[in-house]
Structure 1
């Protein structure tokens, strides 16, 4: 029994050796990096914020007339044109006042005709010495008083007509009814001598262009300028983006939970009126943009501090790598005397919202590229980054392939 057991172990041993060798070979074949071709892409850097949709201007519509609302042919959400009837106030009292004013004007005109005729007779009598000068003066005064009464009556009639027109409340602008503050049957009071008084009947606004006051972190607000393009998304339309422009940056900061934010006003074209007041929005301000530039993943970048460790992982001699970098054109320290440990952030845009910067003034980094089947270190100059990819302004071509170490964090 013991001999059989030993024999079985001896037969199993070569098989275990073969399996172990296969496992070692498989482990050795796993590369510590992935290859990423250098390609052209768009780099867009945004400053994100949140806000609430608001109309640019909201009007509180009041009535100059007092009385009971007897008609209100609009509801919230209705689109109305300028001059369209919004509400009608009981016109009985204004109508009576109008009739009285018309009658007063007719009387004043009749009195003026009588006074004018008496003045003509008085003038003839005065010239013939039939009346005294005092009598002639009285006739002149009566004529002037009659003319004044006509002017006063005409003014009162126009005021009565205006009051009659005021019983019909019409839309001051083309817009949307947002809120009804009075309903059919409400008795409103509108003091004629108090400009700020009166009862608000409804609120309305034009929604053709709406506005968002987005709170931008103070670390990003320095990159924001008026005129920059903005992309807006709302929960109501998750698969649709709306375009806007930065109108202005408010000068007064707001502090909430020890975080300093600046309100940035954004205007958004809303021709379909899909965006409603009160909707919560996510705002992305395009503070930097590059179209169709060479780009590599941020994870492919190495600095002077970690290039040696990366070379070791790749199986290269760190000293040989350093010699290659020093021998290459532009070798040595990063431009500007730094070590390239910070990525280039978006700079403020110039006219038209386009970023303008020289192509060879960005920070310098090192990447490992595959050239001719060999891994070689390459010093590159970079530009704009969106934290996933970074623009390469010099050092690489579209035919190159860069290496990203497995588990390498994005810089």
Structure 2
């Protein structure tokens, strides 16, 4: 009878030990590694900017004469042809100026005819000695003055007729009217500057983006580089363009220096409208079918393994200083982390182009972490260098 309490006590002790061993005993801490294989993809170095969409060629149509707008024959968005009548100023004063110039010219021509006849008579009289040299010279002077007056009045008539023609405003190009700045009955004064009556875009199928590029980025941009941009009106669509020129006139705002960069953008479907704001990406360098690794792989450095760690570090044989286009990375190989020197190309701050030193089969380590055996076994990315708990034999004997 005394054996039963002993057996029960022993069973309790064993169960307590098993519970502690399997559930309460601290799990050993191990080092796990995250790695990725190099892959083939596209990479690009880019410059971002914002800009405004404008027509490639616009013409401000003004007037060289002052007057009151009598009639307007074009409005916003009107499609016009070269030579088409756009507006007419009040012509009454211009017609009166032409009539006056014609009258003055007729009087000058009449006077010239009289002075021509008078000079002929004075010349005959002077030849026979009937008049003095002074009288003859006076007749010649009066004739020349009358002749000059005719030339002057001809010029005045031409000016008056030109002003009359300028009272009609014609389109200088084929295009679309972007803005109309006057209304019928409005007076325009061209005394000091030419007032703009209309703004006409030559071809809305050829647009350009005027981008403001920061001075820190402008040195990387070259003509004809590829550009993509979006506008708020069509957020789901990406538009294409090419860099045309970088204007050398800087703009300074709040101590920030920017340069206007002109980007040509085809607009065959006429979706782009003048004045739209564009969010721009300029591709300064890019490569297709490039071998790529994450940026963090080039900055990873493993910690020194513990004496009993199931892995070891193998440093690169050549540990000389890295060149500008070289990096060190670590790859997993058997039970080792092997350091390799690689040559790199483009870097977009998230991934790096590998020119030499790696293959797609390599497992490039990007990070490490310390965790328990239990947590590591539960995760899919458990390190192959980590010791595993042996499986229990559940076979019945």
| Same fold, judged at TM 0.5 (above) | yes
Which protein has the larger Cα radius of gyration, Structure 1 or Structure 2? 2
Instruction: Show structure 1 runs of 5+ residues with no match.
Output: 1-5, 22-30, 337-360
Instruction: Show structure 2 runs of 5+ residues with no match.
Output: 1-7, 24-31, 370-397
1:130 alignment counterpart:
130
SS of 1:129's equivalent? coil
Measure how far apart 1:97 and its partner are: 1.5
TM-score where L is the length of structure 1: 0.70
2:168 alignment counterpart:
168
2:104 alignment counterpart:
104
What RMSD over aligned residues (CA atoms) do the two structures have, in Å? 4.0
- Distance in 1, matches of 2:256 and 2:220, equals 14
The one-character-per-residue Cα deviations of 1:310-344 (angstroms, maximum 9, x if unpaired) are x78xx752xx32xx3234xxx325514xxxxxxxx
The one-character-per-residue Cα deviations of 1:281-322 (angstroms, maximum 9, x if unpaired) are 11222233334332222243354xx2236x78xx752xx32x
SS of 1:75's equivalent? coil
Alignment of 1:148 onto 2:148: yes
1:326 alignment counterpart:
316
Cα distance change, pair 43–113 in 1 and its aligned pair in 2 (3 A): same
- Distance in 2, matches of 1:255 and 1:269, equals 25
1:288 alignment counterpart:
285
- Distance in 2, matches of 1:137 and 1:181, equals 60
Measure how far apart 1:365 and its partner are: 2.0
Work out whether residues 329 and 365 of structure 2, in 8 Å CA contact, stay in contact via their aligned partners in 1: no
Measure how far apart 1:243 and its partner are: 0.9
Work out whether residues 80 and 177 of structure 1, in 8 Å CA contact, stay in contact via their aligned partners in 2: yes
Range with bigger deviation, 117-126 or 75-84: 75-84
Question: Among residues 253, 266, 275, which one is paired with 2:261 in the alignment?
Answer: 266
Work out whether residues 214 and 283 of structure 1, in 8 Å CA contact, stay in contact via their aligned partners in 2: no
The one-character-per-residue Cα deviations of 1:133-169 (angstroms, maximum 9, x if unpaired) are 3332232122112101110110001101110111012
Alignment of 1:395 onto 2:378: no
Range with bigger deviation, 384-393 or 280-289: 280-289
Counterparts of 1:120-269 in structure 2, within 5 Å, are: 120-173=120-173, 175-191=175-191, 194=192, 196=193, 199-206=195-202, 208-216=206-214, 219-224=216-221, 228-238=225-235, 239-245=237-243, 247-248=245-246, 252=250, 254=252, 256=254, 261-269=256-264
Work out whether residues 294 and 350 of structure 2, in 8 Å CA contact, stay in contact via their aligned partners in 1: yes
- Distance in 2, matches of 1:308 and 1:394, equals 26
TM-score where L is the length of structure 2: 0.72
- Distance in 2, matches of 1:395 and 1:284, equals 31
- Distance in 2, matches of 1:271 and 1:246, equals 13
Counterparts of 1:254-403 in structure 2, within 5 Å, are: 254=252, 256=254, 261-272=256-267, 274-303=271-300, 306-308=301-303, 317=311, 320-321=312-313, 324-327=314-317, 331-336=318-323, 361-369=324-332, 376-402=338-364
